[in-house]
Amino acid sequence: MSPKLDQVKSLFESPQPYLDRRRYNINIRADTVQYFLRNRQFTTILDVGCGDGSASIPLLNPQRTLTLLDLSTQMLSIAQSQVPPTVRQNVQAINQNFLAANLVLHSFDVIICLGFLAHVDSPKAVIEKIAQLLRPSGVVIMQSTDSSGFPSRLGIAYRRILESLGRMNYRYTLTTSAQVIEMFADRGLPLSNIYRYSLPGLPGIDRIFSQRALYKSVRLAYGPAENNYNTWPGKECIYLFESVP
């Protein structure tokens, strides 16, 4: 396992603080997934870096199968506990590095990958494997943080200060929105839709305001996926990519 993977595993093996403090953002992501997949026909789902399964488990029904994949045993355990008993037989859980996982090529109608690229050594390799696993006419829902633009540069500068003070020793992998879109387009997966927003940026704000209040503040500032506005300062990007027949 690479040093980066070791760090990721360590970071998320105690997931509850993250899940508690970022619940509003997890819900925003899950809502956007539901909107992007509205009225679509699909049966096989892969959730890469599934976390607690909030984005993919609600998509389950008796006709659909779901593969949950996460490097964190604790996250994966939480996700499995959220699966309704009536569809538990439709769910496979894989506790493994995504790039090393032995998954059947061209076997998934929907691949969900949220908050994952920032924690990998090679975003390009991840996107290449996603494209290989997708069925013809399948869709990918990917989330990443756009590292271009003034708000992102401020955040990067703040993290560099924390690193220099020894208060942060984890460095995220940075990608721009243009880079992500280009990498998917190169694999025959052009952009179909995008939801852009930003999270409240003040340090410790999630200790002051409730998760419900933070969720409402983002919706007020940027709208829902079906009516996304004020997109220019949005550095959080949830993309919908569709394969070209």
Q: What is the 3-state secondary structure (H, E, C) of the chain?
A: CCHHHHHHHHHHCCCHHHHHHCHHHHHHHHHHHHHHCCCCCCCEEEEECCCCCCCCHHHCCCCCEEEEECCCHHHHHHHHHCCCHHHHHHEEEECCCHHHCCCCCCCEEEEEEECCHHHCCCHHHHHHHHHHHEEEEEEEEEEEEECCCHHHHHHHHHHHHHHHCCCCCCCCCCECHHHHHHHHHHCCCCEEEEEEECCCCCCCHHHHCCHHHHHHHHHHHHCCHHHCCCCCCCCEEEEEEECCC
Q: Quote the pLDDT of residue 122.
A: 95
Q: What is the pLDDT of residue 152?
A: 58
The series of mean pLDDT values per 10 residues for the chain, 245 residues long, is: 76 89 96 97 98 98 98 96 97 97 97 95 97 97 88 57 57 91 97 96 82 96 97 95 86
Q: Quick one: pLDDT at residue 5?
A: 78
User: Could you tell me the fold of the domain covering 3-242?
Assistant: Rossmann fold (3.40.50)
**Measuring CA to CA, which residue among 98, 41, 39 is closest to residue 68?**
98
Instruction: Say what the pLDDT of residue 155 is.
Output: 59
Would you kindly state where each structural domain of the chain is located, as residue ranges?
3-242
Q: Look at residue 172 in the predicted model and tell me its pLDDT.
A: 81
